[in-house]
Structure 1
Amino acid sequence: MTLLHSVVAGALAAAAAIAPPPGSLELRYEGGLTGPAQVADSSGNDLHGDIRTGGGGAVAVVTEDGDPFLRFPGGSCTVAPCPQAIIQPVRTVTLVPAEGRFVYGADIRLTEPPSSEAGMNVFQFGAAGTGLSQWKLQVDSGRPSCRWSDGTDFVLLGAGGDDFRLTVGRWYRVTCVRLSPVLFQIRVDDPRTGRQVLPPRRQTAKLRDILPSGAVVIGGKRIRAGQSDVDTDQFHGDLDAVEFGRREVPSDG
């Protein structure tokens, strides 16, 4: 049982939209490949992503209307062995936000109804637990949520109401933003039109430096033959425009 405690001061369900902070784009995966087992980083920083698989899983590049994107194993699997596939950037140092403002997100399309028995991780750095920093985007049971932790306190912010779920077959842009040292936001937009799908939600909390360690992972927690989706939080569906960007907080921020 974790000893972490939420420091929520308030979640504003109908908050006005706040644009992500301007700054440098550190990573962007759009569906291009550098080779058969590596996703190309189109940000210009060469943070290409190694594809790791197990149990017959794969990350495939699929193109629709001239736009390539990444397809992860379909279905759900609650009894091992299971098809597994993740992407891990070759370096992580520029993805440690510390005290800075930062934004991360992805275009997400579920290809079939998600299981209620297992989580689905989209993009994360670090793990949950006492003393462990983390930033994370997940779509457990089809509901997007963002998590930030400094190892002592955390913010967990879900999109919309408790009953909001992504519609299978539709693309969504889900973005997680640390707007200031004390303000966090999740937003869900239509990536084709740029319009809001529902009002952004914000939450205030005082977190210290976010200093994750280990591997950055896209599409799940890990590859492990003896584990099912219940343990690995394997993502099932399509991803595009997976991004991370950051900018230092001004001294008077």
Structure 2
Amino acid sequence: MRTALLTCLFLVAAGSEAGAATAASADDVRMAVWTMDESPGSAWMTDVSGHGHHGQIGPEVGTGLSTGYGRGYRFDRLEPDTPPARPGHLVVVADHSDLDPGDRSFAVTVRLRTTHKFGNIVQKGQATVAGGSWKMQIPNGRPTCTYRGGRGTIELISPYRINDGDWHVVRCVRLRDGVVLAIDGLRAASREGWTGTIRNDWPVTVGGKIDCDQVDVGCDYYAGDLDWVKVEAA
């Protein structure tokens, strides 16, 4: 009964931001909540969920940005596929099973603002790593979420762009029977199917890839602002 209830909450959350708040009220749903309220020059991103998944902020990440609702982070634009790699552009959170979907319902939600059309926003693992991976990115200004597991990969691409300089909430939900992409509380795309177990030993990175050289592997650095990131699982 509890599993069915939590799955229902995830489905509601995919369709409305009010539902996301409801889902977050379940005791063990919020795995990490990074409000990004740190002051300028901060070196650590605080997880306010109580799980202690704090992240190291790279020196090139701008903190203390006024978002109109509090503070956030700014990621400056870097030329794609132009060496050298810039690991200081990332926020890195150590590997933990809380941050892997495993076989659970799982959701990643961000509030972002950008006028650019490129970059990986948040991810755990990369395309070929053992155990699968998950990722949210914004190619051509269109939010895209990918879940790659032991049973296959589902990638959803928004049918419209959001790189208009306004704030938007993007949510990627992985359920037992499919994946849903919601933007500003409205379902933008969905696909049926089960991706299987996703569990790797990689950190979560915000702002791009961690294993890249900008020659053979592009780092796909995000350019824009982030207000908060939330990871949920049930």
TM range (shorter): 0.7 to 0.9
d(CA) in 1 for partners of 2:152 and 2:211?
28
Match of 1:176 in 2: 172
RMSD: 2.7
Match of 1:61 in 2: 64
d(CA) in 2 for partners of 1:66 and 1:58?
19
Structure 2 residue 13 is the aligned partner of structure 1 residue 25 = no
Higher strand share: 1
Name the count of aligned residue pairs. Answer: 212
d(CA) in 2 for partners of 1:171 and 1:75?
21
Structure 2 residue 77 is the aligned partner of structure 1 residue 71 = no
d(CA) in 2 for partners of 1:130 and 1:70?
28
SS across alignment from 1:232: coil
Distance 1:74 1:61, change over 3 A: farther
Q: Give yes or no for contact 2:95–2:201 (8 Å, CA) kept in 1.
A: no
Partner deviation per Cα, 1:50-77 (whole Å, 9 max, x = no partner) = 0135xxx333220243510111123544
Q: Give yes or no for contact 2:130–2:200 (8 Å, CA) kept in 1.
A: no
Q: TM-score, normalised by structure 2?
A: 0.79
d(CA) in 1 for partners of 2:104 and 2:145?
17
Q: Give yes or no for contact 1:131–1:152 (8 Å, CA) kept in 2.
A: no
SS across alignment from 1:175: strand
> Which of the pair has more CA radius of gyration?
1
Structure 2 residue 205 is the aligned partner of structure 1 residue 240 = no
Higher helix share: 2
Match of 1:188 in 2: 183
Q: TM-score, normalised by structure 1?
A: 0.74
Gaps in structure 2 of 5+ consecutive residues: 1-13
Q: Give yes or no for contact 2:172–2:180 (8 Å, CA) kept in 1.
A: yes
Pick from 58, 82, 89 the counterpart of residue 85 of structure 1: 89
SS across alignment from 1:185: strand
User: Alignment identity in percent?
Assistant: 24
Gaps in structure 1 of 5+ consecutive residues: 1-15, 190-194, 248-253
What does residue range 91-106 of structure 1 map to in structure 2 within 5 Å?
Answer: 91-106=95-110
Letter in 2 for 1:184: V
Residue 234 of structure 1: how far off its partner (Å) = 0.3
